[in-house]
Amino acid sequence: MRRLRRRLVPYGLLGPGAIWLLLFFAVPMYFMGEMALRSGSLDTGGFTFSWEWANFSDALSGSDEQIVRSFVYAGLATVIALAIAYPLAYAIALRAGRWKLLLLFAVVAPFFTTYLIRTIAWKTILADASPAVDVLQFLQLVPQDGRVLATGGAVVAGLTYNFLPFMILPIYASLERMDVRLIEAAKDLYASSTKAFLKVTLPISAPGIVAGILLTFIPAVGDYVNALLLGGTGQSMVGNVIQSLYLQQRDYPEAAALSFVMMLAILAVVVVYLRVAGTGAFIGDEEEPA
């Protein structure tokens, strides 16, 4: 009896999560996969299931440029977000003292406003004749007759801005828990500041970095709002293609097929990434260069 119970308890604990995954992941995946294999059109009697594998090739043909662009933009946004988030999280966690709560609040506060409003606000900030763009032109970062809005740069900036807190908070959480005496110990053992950072701080914050990168990259790849509002005619991402297929062309099977392919592609990237980052690079093996 007791043995049986011991064997069942883990499954019981898994229960709520498993049910959640089943209802909100497996079931929708099933319907999406099933829709991706239908054919027909909304105006002539609707979509019927017919093992229409051609939807996948149709959806992929012609949108390769948008798929690549999505990964490039999301990758750039993730790298920039990491570059901004790490020093900031470090400063808040280890140097802010009594200002810690206030600074954390400052990170989160803009996100009390909705995503759309914040993105639209950037349209005003980055308008062609705005002071922000004047400064960039003065610094020669933007050509005199150039612009920021309706360029790839604006889309990447928008993605970076919108997902930044998802990078900052996990890194902050991992640094906050760190025992600072470990750094002192490293220095006692004649480690330079750089070396102490590389050997102690960075490995300890690695889980935060990994989580932050995933939380930023995954939603950024599928995002379409930033490209729609801040991009121009040459900046469409795969999210824009799916939106157009679903809402404008009303080709639900192709939209589902493309969504399915994107999910698999992201899954593949994430699995490879976790294989590499989850075990190797950040643990701080001895053969790290000094």
Give whichever of 114 and 233 is closer to other proteins, judged by the CB atom: 233
Read off the amino acid at residue 233. T
Task: Give the whole-angstrom CA distance, residue 162 versus residue 80.
Answer: 12
Give whichever of 130 and 137 is closer to other proteins, judged by the CB atom: 130
Q: Which residues are CB-contacts of 135 (< 8 A; sequence separation ≥ 6)?
A: none
Within 98-230, strands assigned E span none
By CB under 8 A, tell whether 152 contacts other proteins. no
User: What residues from 23 to 82 belong to the interface with other proteins (CB under 8 A)?
Assistant: 30, 33-35, 37-38, 40-51, 61-66
Helix 27-35 with 252-276: angle, nearest 10 deg: 130
Task: Give the whole-angstrom CA distance, residue 157 versus residue 176.
Answer: 28
CB 265, min distance to other proteins, A: 17
State the burial class of residue 240 (Cβ atoms within 10 Å of its Cβ: 0-12, 13-18, 19+).
buried
Query: Which residue among 5, 233, 287, 289 contacts other proteins (CB under 8 A)?
Result: 233
Interface map 101-130 toward other proteins (x if CB under 8 A): -------------------x--xx--xxxx
Give whichever of 100 and 123 is closer to other proteins, judged by the CB atom: 123
Contact 73, 220 (CB under 8 A): yes
CB 16, min distance to other proteins, A: 21
Contact 53, 37 (CB under 8 A): yes
By CB under 8 A, tell whether 247 contacts other proteins. yes
Residue 185 in 3-state DSSP? helix
Contacting positions for other proteins (CB under 8 A): 30, 33-35, 37-38, 40-51, 61-66, 120, 123-124, 127-130, 147, 149-150, 229, 231-234, 236, 240-241, 244-252
